[in-house]
């Protein structure tokens, strides 16, 4: 949520950024409400939802012509090697054992 606000603020001058933040605090909006307001006003901003483990698993299986079980092993191995920033964007990656 914070990234959409930051991407919106990146093109502004520092004075405009302060004014924008002040405007939100005057409205008394929570961070979640701020993000909803920004999505409504400026669009989704590139935050794509992850399709899910099983969907990616079946996609790997069909592309490589292997079983779903083998594709799951490949996906689990790549999930364990995911970067810290990827795990921040998709916390479910931390659950893969």
Instruction: Note the pLDDT of residue 30.
Output: 75
Give the residue, 5 or 97, on which the prediction is more confident: 97
Could you tell me the two tokens for 84?
């810290």
**Residue 88: pLDDT over 70:** yes
Segment 33-73, tens digit of pLDDT: 777 777 777 666 655 677 888 999 999 999 999 999 999 99
What is the enclosing helix (H) or strand (E) of 71?
Answer: helix 68-80
**Residue 27: pLDDT over 60:** yes
Q: Which of 21, 47, 17 is closest to 34 using CA atoms? A: 21
Could you tell me the two tokens for 20?
């924008």
Q: What is the pTM for the complete model shown?
A: 0.47
Our CA dihedral for 73, 61, 83, 45, rounded to 10 degrees, sits at -150
CA dihedral sign, ordered 76, 82, 88, 94: positive
2-19 average pLDDT score: 63
């Amino acid at each position: 949520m914070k990234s959409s606000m930051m991407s919106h603020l990146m093109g502004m001058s520092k004075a405009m950024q302060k004014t924008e933040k002040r405007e939100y605090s005057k409205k008394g909006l929570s961070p979640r409400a701020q993000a909803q307001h920004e999505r409504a006003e400026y669009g989704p901003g590139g935050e794509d939802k992850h399709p899910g483990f099983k969907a990616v698993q079946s996609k790997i299986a069909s592309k490589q012509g292997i079983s779903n079980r083998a594709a799951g092993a490949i996906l689990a191995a790549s999930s364990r090697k995911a970067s810290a920033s990827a795990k921040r964007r998709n916390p479910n990656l931390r659950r893969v054992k």
